[in-house]
Structure 1
Amino acid sequence: MTIRHAGAAWLLTVPLLALSQSGWASYAFYVGKNLTENQAVIVGGTGEEVSSHWLEIVPARDHAPDATIEVGVTAEASIPGELSEIPQVEHTFRYLSMSYSDYAGFPAPLTNGGVNEHQVAVRDVWATNREALIDMTQTPQQGPQYSDLARLVLERSTTAREGVELIGELIAKHGYSTYGGNTHLIADPDEAWVVWEFAGSQGLWAAERLGPDEIRVLYPGYIEEFPLDYQQNPDFMGSDNLVSFAEEQGWFDPENDEAFNVFEVYGRQDTQARTGGYKYMTQAALEEAVREMAPVSERDMMTRVRDHRIADDEAGYGQVVSLKHGVDSDLIRIWVAPTGSVAAPFLPWWLGVRSVPLEFAQHRYLTKGAASNFLNPDFQVQEGSDFAGRRFKQVLYLMCEQPERFHPQVTELLEGFERDSFEDLGWVERAAQTLVAQEQRDAAREMLTFYSHSRADAAMDLGGTLVDWLYASLALRDGLRRPTGDEINDQGGETVNCLVDADPDKPQAAQ
């Protein structure tokens, strides 16, 4: 299967293996500050989980000296584990993230990451290990899992490097619970690090620094060539046994192997790091598409995250954030699409925002346990509100019924909505900065909250209009197609997307 990208010179071949991968994966994009329009590090990504997603702004907190937190996985995980308690720190930082409710054996709420008050951004990305490593994982496994690590980095780290060191320390002290290997992209205004945590119960991990002139797309996460003297190299980190364990297993021979390639040693053995082909664009193709946009803007990153070849029903939300020195903690801004951004607008949220609108908070739609339990009365007003995740899923399902017809028009409207938000940023942020400078921080936070809530309300109105228009257009022109089967849940086939007949060779409107 071959994919051509309009306006680009590259050609992409995708093996059929690509079409059978699990959707619970997530993308991460990194662009170094020398390649961006605003000289800021830009990070983007999706969360790819079936369950409901909702926005959370978590305040900074102080904790008692003997406080602990629960980490790990349960016996229901694909690699069984047991939950354990590890010490909490005295103070945790404020952060914003999208949460979700379900991954087998991984207790909710889960997170792929977000951004904290020190401009440390985290993205979690799947990165399957070689089967032999997975098979040797001891059960019941203990220690923090991927969501625990993302949250702990947001709560405790002031730089990306600190986040990497924290992950290494946590694994060494408490172990690591996994579904088969995982990576984190951790970024700050200067750099980013790819951290790969391995299965096998050996405390193995590796990290590679990404600098100001680099672009990296993770899906799956990967690290390739790695220096043998990594412990003396400021651009790499890893567990003490990273190389020696590979030698013991016969996976690396320093006498005959040209280099220590982390992916070839510890990664999945039936594919390649950058061109293995997942969904309809490889990491290499996505990295080239981003590089062709340089200098990259936030809106460019939204285009990449929204690309219909990667954003489909599996994409639970979209995120884009710029990281730049000199930004007040209340004015750290992150753009979030409440579900897959191919069908939903990116909305601006600042860490100074005081609350999340009810429509963007947790609802029972696709939430674990909703089908077998009645509603907790404490949530009845919140549940009575419309849910952004559900509304824009409706847009996705109706739009992708006839993507040739609807996808270009919906994309144009979403981008127009975002253009209006971008045009407001100047006065909104100048006003907030003025209030902060005048020692009226509470007023600045109220103003940011009012603006974010106003845009969220407008987005819900846009979503409602789109649903009504799409539904009426289908009903009045062609009639509404009814299902022919009797199983409403997908059984491992192709999920809903805006590819014509699920064929990326056919004409599409995306840039």
Structure 2
Amino acid sequence: MLRSRPRPATVVALATTAVTVTALGTPSVAFAEGGELGGSGKSTEPGQSAFRQPDKSFAAYVGKNRSSNGHTMLGGFGHEPSSHWMEVVPAQDHPKGSEITVGSTGEADMPGKLTKIPQARHTYRYLTSNYSEFTGMPAPLTNGGLNEKGVAARDVWSNSRKELLDMTPKDQTGPQYSDLSRIAMERAGSAREAVEILGDLIDTHGYTTYGGNSHLFADAEEGWVLVEYAGGKGLWAAERLGPDDIRVSYPGYIKEFPTDAVEGKNPDFMGSENLVSFAEKKGWYDPSEDKTFNLQKVYQEPFPTKSFPVGKNADPKDPAPYRNPVSLEKEFAGLGKVRLQDMMRIVRDPRWSDDRSGYGQVAELDPGLPDPRLATLWTAPTAAVTAPYIPVAIGTGELPVEYTQHRYMTAGASAEYLDPEYAEQEATESATQTFKRLMYATCARPRLYLGDVTAAFEGFEAQQIKDWKQVQGKAEAAPDRTADILTGYTNEQALDGLRLGNHLLDDILSRSRAAKGGLREPGTGETPDDDGSTASARSRPMGLRGPESARDRMNCDVGGGWADGSSVDRAGHYGDPSEVPDYSDARVSGRTAASAERSGDSSWRNWAPWSIAAVSLLVAAGTVWHSRRRAGSP
């Protein structure tokens, strides 16, 4: 299979091609005036209108003492109107003197210059979801993932105050958010080390911003939130998250910060040397008057949404619903001991998993794994609201070509011909496109279809969660076959999930066609009727017109999440395999329905070491029959 990383020529084309949609969006949502974190931050002058800037990505951390099995969890997704694809990146050795290109081009909304910094001699194996578009930042881009050392990473916007954006140099240099995310996956052996590595890089090479950003890192013992501020001054801060913490980044934030931490005297905080002194110089912090050094008030804008009580649905007119991480932390605390399924559901919640969500990821970090290759990142190929999670282990080999890069929604694709090297890869079905189509069909009539789609995918995943423990056990017992066993099951489930998606899509489109009025035809919207064009409404530009908000984008939120409530409201039961519809007639283009045709796919089922007890064999056999019956395998 061809590697999905674009060749250098393609990367340059992606970086330099003019595109009409940016990940920063057209005028973005306005921040709520009078939010709970206003005041001493002096973020706006009297009479100044609310500041507008991008809002992107979501992440949630659950410490090990807050989980049902003592495992730290980290979940979330990125917000990008872009193609996305999954990749298993192998560990690699690099020649002495190797360099990587970092930063942004002059085309970025906050322009910069590309520069080179040294690459590590050895980089770790990691799992990630790549994507192609964030204006001025060369592809492939990433928000994090999971590496072989058990470090999970998420990347989330963090809205720096307007004055910092205004002072950011137009020729800024240094790694940007995606560079930092990828470097953390390549080099970090712990969550703390991820912060240390990235902080040192910013101190040494600078930082390229798009308006402020944050990272959320986790390992089996703890988490760390890192915030990088705009301004071109190399400002950054980090806070440790312990085993009893729940943290949401939506946006990323840090509040009270001990000032001695910049001197390396606090084990729970880190920051750039100028973090405190710069705030004093600007008059944003006065140690003689301010009781605490609150980074949220000093360096950021208020949260986009005012605080809200647990269980309260957002105002239907709110352009930035639920974007208050402190309120969401209180809500998620109501789950009690959080399970893997709860975190999957949080990331899938229709309140924020929508057309802008590029994928869904959940990492469960088990300190007791006997083999690091068993560490797992549960990944949905696009927004999890209408896509299934697939377990991908560090030891997994190549993924089905359907889950790799395709030109659907890829930046620059409409202005370039296809490189023949990618012809057969592009000819295959794109999992991202299939599940995007399912989203549009479902979310066009969410009250009618969302419940069925959710039940199907949660039932599919419930069986996977049961299977996965057995798969890991078999892989552990056969170290020389670990990769084959893990790859076989993951590939089988990825393709079965795609078949299920095709079945649901066919069913929903058939039902919508049969409904009164049939499939909805697009109206002319704001396009004037007298513009002289003879093109029909179906041939008009399909992009959103005017200022974009979360409420304008395609979404399945029926008011507080699903028809039966939010992730917390639906806690407890998760999925019933018997509710998965019969999708035996569904197919993936170019593949038969039989699992056996996939090279190595059935090895996890067919191989059993002599040391496994007979009762385990019976259980495994039952699982084989059930799964193959669902998939229509012989």
TM interval, short-chain normalised = over 0.9
Of 243, 268, 276, the residue aligned with 1:235 is: 268
Of 481, 487, 490, the residue aligned with 2:520 is: 481
For the residues of structure 2 that align with 1:383 and 1:274, how far apart are their CA atoms? 46
- 1:270 deviates by 7.4
Of 403, 406, 409, the residue aligned with 1:366 is: 409
Deviates more, 1:203-212 or 1:272-281: 272-281
CA offsets, 1:383-426, max 9 Å, x none? 11111111111111111111111111111111001011011012
Tell me which residue corresponds to 2:626: none
- 1:23 deviates by 7.0
Tell me which residue corresponds to 1:120: 151
Change (3 A) 1:34 1:506: closer
- 1:232 deviates by 1.1
Tell me which residue corresponds to 1:452: 490
For the residues of structure 2 that align with 1:170 and 1:178, how far apart are their CA atoms? 14
Identify unmatched segments of 5+ residues in structure 2: 1-30, 36-50, 309-313, 525-539, 571-634
SS of equivalent to 1:229: helix
Tell me which residue corresponds to 2:388: 345
- 1:292 deviates by 1.4
For the residues of structure 1 that align with 2:376 and 2:563, how far apart are their CA atoms? 35
Of Structure 1 and Structure 2, which has the larger fraction of its residues in strand? 1
Tell me which residue corresponds to 1:498: 556
Change (3 A) 1:124 1:509: same
State whether structure 2 residue 328 is matched by structure 1 residue 286. yes
For the residues of structure 2 that align with 1:335 and 1:393, how far apart are their CA atoms? 19
| Higher Rg | 2
SS of equivalent to 2:322: coil
In the superposition, the TM-score normalised over structure 2's length comes to: 0.75
- 1:260 deviates by 0.5
CA contact (8 A) 1:23 1:48 kept: no
SS of equivalent to 2:386: coil
- 1:273 deviates by 8.8
CA contact (8 A) 1:143 1:176 kept: yes
- 1:146 deviates by 0.3
2:543 alignment partner AA: N
- 1:279 deviates by 2.7
- 1:268 deviates by 1.2
For the residues of structure 2 that align with 1:128 and 1:211, how far apart are their CA atoms? 24
CA contact (8 A) 1:23 1:49 kept: no
Deviates more, 1:490-499 or 1:252-261: 490-499
1:104-503 equivalences in 2 (<5 Å): 104-230=135-261, 231-269=264-302, 278-280=320-322, 282-327=324-369, 328-436=371-479, 440=480, 443-478=481-516, 479-485=518-524, 486-491=540-545, 492-493=547-548, 494-500=552-558
- 1:37 deviates by 1.3
In the superposition, the TM-score normalised over structure 1's length comes to: 0.92
- Structure 1 segments of 4+ aligned residues over 2 angstroms from their partners: 14-18, 20-24, 269-282, 503-511
For the residues of structure 1 that align with 2:452 and 2:561, how far apart are their CA atoms? 20
For the residues of structure 2 that align with 1:298 and 1:132, how far apart are their CA atoms? 41
For the residues of structure 1 that align with 2:304 and 2:127, how far apart are their CA atoms? 35
CA offsets, 1:425-455, max 9 Å, x none? 121010000012xxx1xx1101110100000
Of 69, 82, 93, the residue aligned with 1:38 is: 69
For the residues of structure 2 that align with 1:413 and 1:463, how far apart are their CA atoms? 9
1:136 alignment partner AA: M
SS of equivalent to 2:519: coil
CA contact (8 A) 1:407 1:509 kept: no
1:64-83 equivalences in 2 (<5 Å): 64-83=95-114
CA contact (8 A) 2:303 2:324 kept: no
- 1:272 deviates by 7.4
Tell me which residue corresponds to 1:10: none
2:342 alignment partner AA: D
SS of equivalent to 2:143: strand
CA contact (8 A) 1:191 1:211 kept: yes
For the residues of structure 1 that align with 2:445 and 2:34, how far apart are their CA atoms? 26
- 1:508 deviates by 5.2
Tell me which residue corresponds to 2:12: none
Tell me which residue corresponds to 1:8: none
2:300 alignment partner AA: G
- 1:16 deviates by 9.4
CA offsets, 1:46-92, max 9 Å, x none? 11100011001110111111111110100001111111111111111
CA offsets, 1:289-320, max 9 Å, x none? 32111211111001111111111111111000
For the residues of structure 2 that align with 1:475 and 1:186, how far apart are their CA atoms? 46
SS of equivalent to 1:75: coil
Change (3 A) 1:194 1:34: same
**RMSD (Å) for aligned C-alpha atoms:** 2.2
1:470 alignment partner AA: I
1:138 alignment partner AA: P
Change (3 A) 1:74 1:264: same
For the residues of structure 2 that align with 1:166 and 1:395, how far apart are their CA atoms? 40
State whether structure 2 residue 129 is matched by structure 1 residue 91. no
2:506 alignment partner AA: D
SS of equivalent to 1:302: helix
Change (3 A) 1:245 1:339: same
Q: Percent identity?
A: 45
For the residues of structure 1 that align with 2:57 and 2:228, how far apart are their CA atoms? 16
Identify unmatched segments of 5+ residues in structure 1: 1-13
SS of equivalent to 1:375: coil
For the residues of structure 2 that align with 1:287 and 1:269, how far apart are their CA atoms? 17
